[in-house]
Amino acid sequence: MNDIVRLALEEDIGPGDVTSAACVPETRMANGRFLAREPLILAGVDLLSEIYTLRGGVDELRTLKHAGDLCQDGDVIAEVRGRARTLLECERVALNFLQRLSGVATAARRYADAVAGTACRVLDTRKTTPGLRALEKQAAAAGGVMNHRMGLWDTILIKNNHIAAAGGVRQAIESARASGLPIEIEVRTRDELCEALSAGAQHLLLDNLTPAEAADWVREIDGRAKVELSGGITLENVRAYAEAGADFVSSGAITHSARAMDISFRLELA
């Protein structure tokens, strides 16, 4: 992750933190604490060591909470001691990562909790912030959901436009088998469903159904393939979809709509 962290630091600090340089003596030492300001699931804390290392290091960094931990308002997440200028120039980048990634982890935990007790697992998606996918998927996993494919290279997911380009459901599935990769296919009609099952599809994606419609389709599939539901899955309705009998539900909101959590940094002279 060094490249991502380096880019973030360069973006924020540029040629130098002029405010800290103007106000703070170069040799002054300070202590800092990262504090949760609301209940949250933590993620991104492992990046603190990378951030400080890239800026020349600090004397001490102690992480008191870890990825996936539940933090309450007032909990100390981490403590750091070093040059005051270093702590100040790294503050915003550190908080941006912690707040954003903890937001993803917190959203993920809410989805995971909402389907607890069912046989259904929640998946994340590729609807991530450009450049931050690996970090956001790590955060989603820390929150308790399963990572779906990382990108276009690791799993085959045949969607409607692939079916059109391939010439049909069966043609798409049979051509994809040569890759040796796991295959998932989206079906939108009962005819496509029958064709996919007859072609040996083992993982089906059903998109934009109501929970009642999904339950009807799942009954027809009758265990002949794994079923994933997507499209319009929200925190309010995810349990209804899970109870429809799906093996998986996927929601882009876990990453694309996660709220930055309230985390602060407090500095004191050493």
**Active site residue ranges:** 92, 127, 159, 186, 207
Query: How many Å apart are CA 188 and CA 204, to the nearest integer?
Result: 10
Kindly report the number of other CB atoms within 10 A of residue 70's CB atom.
14
30 beta partners = 82, 269
Q: Which of 64, 58, 46 has its CA nearest to residue 1?
A: 46
* 43 and 105 Cβ atoms separated by less than 8 Å: yes
Residue with tokens 């069966």: 170
Which residues does residue 61 pair with via DSSP β-bridges, in sequence order?
A: 80
What is the C-alpha separation between 90 and 64, in angstroms, rounded?
A: 19
Residues ≥6 apart with Cβ < 8 Å to 236: none
